[in-house]
Structure 1
Amino acid sequence: MAGEYTDWLAKKIAARIEEIKAANELTHEQLRKSYLQLGLSEALLQLPVPKVWRPDPPKE
């Protein structure tokens, strides 16, 4: 009986470890994508912005 319980427990622990590894991989992939998007956003923000002006002063 004790052997069956330890086998069951070992399987449960191994399954949980695999779940945690899969979750960690997913988290790392999401973080990598986020860092990439942040880098692209920073590059976009560094681009010059065209100035918009009115040829005539605004009427009040």
Structure 2
Amino acid sequence: MSATELHWVKSSYSSGPDPGDCVEVAHAPAMIHVRDSKTPGTPHVTVAAATWESFLAYVSE
């Protein structure tokens, strides 16, 4: 699946004093795609859904 086919959603934590510093994620079957919203045409990181869930649990502590 290409980056243009994904539905990107901006992080709710990206609405602080500098809204230019944003992260966007896109959910696909079994994978999560992550990118910098300032440069949507550049490559993005893809991780397994379980890896993303572990990451979110760690940063939520």
TM-score bracket, shorter-length normalisation: under 0.3
Name which one, 1 or 2, has greater alpha-carbon Rg.
1
Relative to its length, the structure with more strand (as a share) is 2
Relative to its length, the structure with more helix (as a share) is 1
* Normalised TM-score (structure 1): 0.25
Q: Which has the higher contact order (CA 8 A, sep 6+)?
A: 2
* Normalised TM-score (structure 2): 0.24
